[in-house]
């Protein structure tokens, strides 16, 4: 998110919805974030992934990759000129982008058509290039067969998981994306990959903090496999 701290309300019917988002400021300016960006990938258009500040500050001619025509229509309607639907694989500046699947919530949540529509679809993306590490960004998904398929097909060197264990009111036993046990599962499903755990401590409906995940990782003795970056921290692989 490029918004300033407290720039927009919490999400209705979610855990801690009374808190405003983001919970923290960026550790550096939005201009610094964008200065070397060549393209943007929007896994879905929920506000914590595509906020108003991003819509205002990202150049309108910047290539934007999206999951489907509905999201493309939304973003084109915001004035962006180069919006591309990622249908399978494509190459951009020598980097291959491969779309992967997932589901933002359990089958119990998606059993209700209205809830399913409100949650909407999401995608993940695998980035690969010659002489570079292959990176799998899973996106806002629970652990699903689609995640297993992506790991087996692409054999990523780095797996980035959204592990905040976000909660909806009334479904507290069914987080809408990954958490502690999924982090552990990732180390088993991708035994040669580095696991990077993100999407914590910045959005109100996250129920898992970095501190709690670090304690869990230590307890399970997987700290050499799992990285939990701080805000603004860079990692090289």
- The model's pLDDT over 25-39, given as tens digits with 9 standing for 90+, comes to 999 999 999 999 999
Distance CA 139, CA 120 (A): 13
**With 90 as the cut, is the pLDDT of residue 170 above it?**
no
Residue 59: inside a domain, yes or no? Answer: no
Residue 32: inside a domain, yes or no? Answer: no
Instruction: Tell me how crowded residue 154 is: count the other CB atoms within 10 A of its CB.
Output: 19
Indicate if the alpha-carbon torsion angle 155, 134, 46, 101 is positive or negative.
negative
Residue 159: inside a domain, yes or no? Answer: yes
Distance CA 125, CA 161 (A): 11
In the predicted model, what is the mean pLDDT of the chain?
A: 95
Residue 18: inside a domain, yes or no? Answer: no
Q: How many domains does the chain have?
A: 1
Average pLDDT, stretch 45-72?
96
Residue 112: inside a domain, yes or no? Answer: yes
Q: Which domain holds residue 179?
A: 88-227
CA dist list (Å): 180 to 9, 119, 183: 27, 22, 5
Residue 180: inside a domain, yes or no? Answer: yes
CATH number at residue 135: 3.60.15.10
For the entire predicted model, the pTM comes to 0.96
Residue 146: inside a domain, yes or no? Answer: yes
Residue 7: inside a domain, yes or no? Answer: no
What are 109-151's pLDDT values in tens digits?
A: 888 888 888 888 999 999 999 999 999 999 999 999 999 999 9
pLDDT score at 195 = 98
pLDDT score at 117 = 87
- Helix extents (H) in the chain: 30-34, 52-57, 69-77, 107-110, 113-119, 145-154, 180-189, 210-219
pLDDT score at 97 = 98
């Amino acid at each position: 998110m490029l918004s300033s701290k407290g720039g927009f309300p919490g999400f209705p019917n979610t855990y801690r919805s009374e808190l405003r988002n983001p919970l923290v400021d960026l550790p550096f300016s939005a201009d610094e974030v964008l200065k070397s960006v060549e393209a943007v990938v929007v896994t879905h258009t929920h506000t914590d992934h595509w906020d108003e500040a991003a819509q205002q500050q990202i150049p309108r001619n910047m290539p934007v990759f999206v999951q489907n025509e509905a999201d493309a229509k939304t973003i084109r309607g915001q004035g962006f000129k180069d919006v591309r639907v990622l249908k399978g694989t494509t190459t951009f500046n020598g980097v291959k982008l491969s779309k992967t699947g997932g589901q933002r919530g359990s089958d119990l949540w998606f059993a209700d058509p209205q809830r399913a529509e409100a949650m909407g679809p999401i995608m993940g993306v695998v980035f690969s290039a010659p002489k570079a590490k292959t990176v799998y960004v899973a996106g806002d998904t629970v652990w699903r067969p689609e995640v297993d398929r992506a790991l087996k097909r692409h054999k990523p060197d780095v797996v980035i998981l959204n592990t905040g264990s976000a909660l909806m009111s009334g479904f507290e036993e069914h987080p809408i994306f990954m958490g502690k046990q999924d982090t552990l599962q990732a180390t088993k499903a991708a035994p040669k990959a580095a696991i990077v755990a993100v999407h914590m401590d910045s959005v109100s409906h996250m129920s898992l903090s970095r501190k709690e995940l670090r304690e869990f990782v230590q307890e399970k003795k997987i700290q050499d496999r799992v990285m939990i970056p701080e805000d603004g921290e860079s990692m090289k692989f």
